[in-house]
Structure 1
């Protein structure tokens, strides 16, 4: 099973050139499950369908800006259910905001079988780790309410806007509890590249240091994770690589690098 997550940066920058790079790159990857952030849906235009084509079931999540920017899920396999929850956990969370959590029930073929794809998008502001902690706990509890015995696996993906050492990500990876709760998900990048930074928001990409984002030092803030069983994650992480981490010609696909992970049943 191949999973991709990517912040596509809506249609900012030189979109026609970026679109060509994104569409061709995604076509070659041929993912099974896709979590996209900052995707655009407006009357007459669906950015996800434009990039992925017609072979996917596409779900556009709630919580979109007035100009149609939000988060989306795409699945090669049937989606038999979707549950969403708002993550406005404090008064500081912008009411016009693309964040939230969506849990899609996916009917994957054997040997994978039915699974849950969780798309988590918390607050982005530097100083909002308190909110991200509350949002991580709210999302994790929401997932636990929805997990059933038939759901053999839970895959978590998204732009978390938090580095691996932050409390919210440490919570997801089982390194600390928050608000009396604990879970444990295996970080795909860390599993495949334990000694590499793996920045997904990297100033060597010239699209990063634009507008309000100048002076960015580089961070790993995008993740694919697998929920743990009693002793280990339920899926083996065979591969996790950066996606669109180099320009094609002089075109950078997005201001974020994405991730692609290949997961298998042990």
Structure 2
């Protein structure tokens, strides 16, 4: 049995800009793209129900998982997930530290039952945003791999979110198995690297919604970064199952009627998930 799963990640950009017009555009895109697993970042609690209304998606906002919200969550929003099949939250991970105390985003990990296959672990993180915060992001991705090890199922883990780091950053190199951190190593497949076309930039000065923050944070002309990712687990961690990335593309990367959906472009990946019988041979 193989299940086709469409995974999407999108930074909603809370209520900045013309939020009403942007939310209408995102809602229309969700209905057109029909994703099965969605990771939202910077979404306000009252935005999530409206975004997924009429989509048959089941949503959970980070505010539903904790007694006390992190600072600034009321302004910048938090992490949320939406899934085609009813999910249950396995863990909500607070990755704030003494050097990242203003980060209002939690990581949500949910168990999602895929038809006839069983549960898949879906992790939706957002990591520290400052250019100089790579040390924080390294600690955060180490915590993500620990979370995966605690909660993973037989099916390959799916992880999607805004990592605020390009593919050559240490945190992303760690996740894709290209380097170790603090004596630890792991491996996920980067869906864009497997099946995307072109550079896949998701935070770029070409997007007018991003231009102000790029000027404030980067102050270099023509800045472009690939910050948003879909990852799937490795056969080394899931020897009796697979998640084959068949296609990856950008979403919300063009204006509609002069409106840009967000300051980030989204990423959509089509993944075939199935089980493999018999032993796995070592190379």
Following superposition, which runs of at least 4 residues in structure 1 exceed 4 angstroms of deviation?
Answer: none
Please say if residues 90 and 151 of structure 2, whose CA atoms lie closer than 8 Å, have aligned partners that are also in contact: no
Equivalent residue runs for 1:1-266 within 5 Å: 1-41=5-45, 46-54=46-54, 55-62=56-63, 63-64=69-70, 65-67=73-75, 69-89=77-97, 91-94=98-101, 96-110=102-116, 112-148=117-153, 151-193=154-196, 196-211=198-213, 212-213=216-217, 215=219, 217-230=223-236, 234-265=242-273
Long gaps (5+) in structure 1: none
Please say if residues 105 and 117 of structure 1, whose CA atoms lie closer than 8 Å, have aligned partners that are also in contact: yes
- After TM superposition, give the deviation of residue 49 of structure 1 in Å: 1.5
- Tell me the TM-score normalized by structure 1: 0.90
Deviations 1:4-45 (A, max 9, x none): 10001011101121122111111111111110000011xxxx
Please say if residues 79 and 107 of structure 2, whose CA atoms lie closer than 8 Å, have aligned partners that are also in contact: no
- After TM superposition, give the deviation of residue 92 of structure 1 in Å: 1.3
Q: How many residues align?
A: 256
Residues in 1 aligned to 2:31 and 2:104: alpha-carbon distance in whole angstroms: 26
- After TM superposition, give the deviation of residue 50 of structure 1 in Å: 0.7
- Tell me the TM-score normalized by structure 2: 0.85
- After TM superposition, give the deviation of residue 169 of structure 1 in Å: 0.2
Please say if residues 205 and 211 of structure 2, whose CA atoms lie closer than 8 Å, have aligned partners that are also in contact: yes
Deviations 1:217-249 (A, max 9, x none): 110000000010129882110111001111112
What is the CA RMSD across the aligned residues, in angstroms? 1.9
Match of 2:208, SS state, is coil
Greater Cα offset, 15-24 or 125-134:
15-24
Please say if residues 208 and 214 of structure 1, whose CA atoms lie closer than 8 Å, have aligned partners that are also in contact: no
